[in-house]
Amino acid sequence: MSLANKLAEERRARLAAERLLELKQAELFAANRKLGNHAQQLSNEIVETRAEVAMVRGENQRVKTELGVANEKIQIAERRLWHSIETIQDGFAFFDADNRMIVANRSYLAVFEDLEEVQPGITYPRILQLLTEEGIVNIGEEPPAAWRARMQDRWQQIDPEPMEIQLWNGEHVRIFDRRGPSGDVVSLALNITESVRYAEKLHDARERAEAANRAKSAFLANMSHEIRTPMNGVVGMADLLTETDLDSEQRLFVDTIKHSGEALLVIINDVLDYSKIDADRLVLHPEAFDLEKTLHEVVMLLQPTARAKGLSLQIDYDAQQPTSFIADPGRIRQIVTNLLGNAVKFTLDGHVLLRVVGESVEANATKLILTVEDTGIGIAPDKVDHVFGEFNQVEDDRNRQFEGTGLGLAITKRLVEMMGGDIWVTSEQGRGSCFGFSVTLPVNPDPASAAHRLDPNLQRILVIDGAENGTLQKQISVLGGDPIPCADPASLSSNLLGSVSLIVLALEPDNPAFSAACDALIRLASETAILSLSRDPKGVLEAGLPNVHTIQRPYARSDLFDAIMQIAVRREVPMVSEPCASIPKVLLAEDNRTNQLVFRKMVGKLDIDLRTANDGFEAVTAYTDDRPDVIFMDISMPGMDGKEATARIRALEGDGPHVPIIAVTAHAMDGDRDMILKAGLTDYLTKPLRKDALLEKLERYCPRCQLAS
């Protein structure tokens, strides 16, 4: 090989070696770089691991510190809780599921005094045994074993009822036990000795207060009776004096006496009722009664006052509504009397209207709405909200002339609320007021109280009525009648009169149409019976109508039905000529001479034989000897009172007809009326007597009592 070739080959070998060296150097550099990266990664991981280890060590230290603080707080809380439990005066103990005491405070252990056995570890049954054996608890007459068994049964209950025990020293302890989910029991014993003693004091105080209330009620009843008895003489004589010849000054004096006496009676009634309501002692006495009849009785009572003022006092009872309900008729009467009385008092001219409407709220109950509308002085808007307050009267220049206690509307509101109703008022000053109340009353379920139905032979009735509202025709329709209206009496004819069973004449004698109707009926000489509805029955009788019967307005639907049926009976029974009836006898049983004189003067113009009895014994004797037509019986009389005398008279009557006996009494407390009527009396009059009310009773129970000729 030539030298040149060798040199070329060596150069190629050297170049190859250099390239291999470069390659190996590159690989070594890559390997070093990779190794460096890996070393850096390991270094980072080591740093992170060291940081995490440091953090965990710090967290562990913090947790240990916090656990230590929490444990210390728990220990402090436990010490404070136990210190509090030890401090309280009531006993506290904790028992495990096996009924063994775990802990108990000093108050709990103090009950057992020096019994060292009572400490944590003792069982509940053993505690019960020590309580009875050591005489720690007063178990009365109950055997110890029975008492322990009863206590053990209570302890085993899931939720034991609190119970009270009495210790040997007279202290009272109420025990509360609560069982936890795992069966542990917390027992708390409260010392209630002071509460028991306070309750005993309250009981004694309540008994004294009730005794005082009973004494107050008795005092009020006696006061009412004692005041009413002389007031009967004052008001009665004043009433009689107004009928004598008096000059203007004398009449002023008499009217002042009468009005002052009546005002005093209103005050007495209001104070009696308010004292009952204020003490929550007023009780309602529900019973079946005729609402329409009751309302008409109130209107009749106020009619003389309204007539004297020239007022028209009207009643509008929805003919489609029932009339028999279950409620306290005395309190219903009182509510309506208060509202109507106020309306008449504060109305100087115009009218007062009592309106009754209703709606069925269920099968056997009706929501009644009663309103009293007047054309009186009205109430200012800023005073309306005060009218139902106690002792409130709307004060202004116009109504200071009207007297009153300011209790009437407050009592009325309380009575309505006691019946579950509402009361309201709307008013326009100078135009009048409307007081209304609503109550829901059960309808009387007694079949006898169902609506009256006229006999088919009596259904066609001719109605001669001056009113335009058609109320009378509606009433007759509700009773099952067929009313035939006649607006013009001049149109009456024999054919028309012969086609009807009855003629109802609803015109007042001072109405020109009344005279025209009378002339036509007399001219036609109809034999059809006439029923007159009038406020002046005497004026009707003086008109000379043939075959006429009268009922006085206002009248109830039942009165109208009864009058029609009585006329029907008279038509069916032939009239028999009878000798002239003797003068009716009236017996008055009254121990007060002044009241006897008042009564005698009030009936002085009647053609009656009035006899008097001074006590119950004389009343019974007079009944036996004279057989009076009606008896007026005082209730409070010496020796034998009116109730006992009535009972003896009823016993003498047996099953025969009963003489009407009307109570005349000064008793006016709640329940007196019911008590008196249950004693066998027929009706009730309160002293002081009102002449109109007395004459109304005589007319009702002794129709033969007429004015002397």
Instruction: Tell me the pLDDT tens digit for each residue of 336-387.
Output: 988 998 999 999 999 999 999 998 888 789 999 999 999 999 988 888 878 8
Q: Are 502 and 462 in contact (CB under 8 A)?
A: yes
Mean of pLDDT values over 417-431 = 92
Burial group, residue 365, by CB count within 10 angstroms (0-12, 13-18, 19+): middle
661 vs 597, higher pLDDT: 661
- Judged by phi (left if over 0) then psi (alpha if -120 to 50, else beta), residue 88 lies in beta
666 vs 648, higher pLDDT: 648
In percent, how much of the chain has pLDDT > 70?
87
Q: Beta strands 482-486 and 460-465: pairing type?
A: parallel
The predicted structure's pLDDT at residue 446: 66
Give CA–CA dist 147/160, Å, rounded.
16
Both tokens assigned to 652: 């003498």
Q: Which letter, b or e, does each residue of 524-543 get, where b requires 16 or more Cβ atoms within 10 Å of its Cβ?
A: eebebbbbbbbbbbeebeeb
Please say if the pLDDT value at position 286 is more than 60: yes
Per-residue pLDDT reduced to its tens digit, 310-328: 898 888 888 888 888 999 9
Nearest to 309 by CA among 391, 376, 358, 214: 376
Please say if the pLDDT value at position 14 is more than 90: no
The predicted structure's pLDDT at residue 577: 39
Read off the pLDDT band of 623 (50, 70, 90). Answer: very high
Please say if the pLDDT value at position 256 is more than 90: no
- Mean pLDDT of all residues in the chain? 82
The predicted structure's pLDDT at residue 23: 84
Give CA–CA dist 477/487, Å, rounded.
18
The predicted structure's pLDDT at residue 706: 66
In percent, how much of the chain has pLDDT > 90?
17
Please say if the pLDDT value at position 150 is more than 60: yes
Give CA–CA dist 108/187, Å, rounded.
9
Mean of pLDDT values over 561-573 = 66
Both tokens assigned to 576: 């028999």
The predicted structure's pLDDT at residue 279: 61
Nearest to 166 by CA among 134, 195, 205, 137: 137
Read off the pLDDT band of 107 (50, 70, 90). Answer: confident
The predicted structure's pLDDT at residue 576: 40
